[in-house]
Amino acid sequence: MKTKTSQAKDDDMRPEYDFTGGVRGKYARELRENGYTIRVYNADGTFTETHVLGEKTVILAPDVSEYFPDSQAVNHALRTLLSLVPEKRKAVARKGRNIRDGRTVSKNRARV
């Protein structure tokens, strides 16, 4: 005698579906980071498309985007800018320290 399962009677999953090799959330991180596009096709052959932004998506202001036709142009400009920046300052790693002598500086105390 079969026991009652936790699936509802109106569940449309058929018994022949086999998910034993499936991985839950396999593409979740990529979709969350990069975003995705939803395309809805209409009966008349047209479609509407909506792009859902991911966490790593950067949106340029309209006046800035006039100068950059695509992502490649933006990346090239940013890499050029980064080449002008000196090596990352060690002061960032030593947050809260005096750059000249290495002493810790309290936010509440005045520097001597």
Domain ranges of the chain: 31-86
- Where does the pLDDT of residue 4 fall: very low under 50, low under 70, confident under 90, or very high at 90 and above? low
Q: What confidence score (pLDDT) does residue 101 get? A: 53
- For residues 4-29, give the mean pLDDT: 78
Q: What confidence score (pLDDT) does residue 112 get? A: 45
Residue 34 DSSP SS3: helix
Whole-angstrom distance, CA of residue 17 vs CA of residue 15:
6
Residue 1 amino acid letter? M
What is the pTM (predicted TM-score) of this model?
Answer: 0.38
**CA quadruple 2, 20, 13, 25: dihedral sign:** positive
Q: What confidence score (pLDDT) does residue 111 get? A: 47
pLDDT at residue 19 above 80? yes
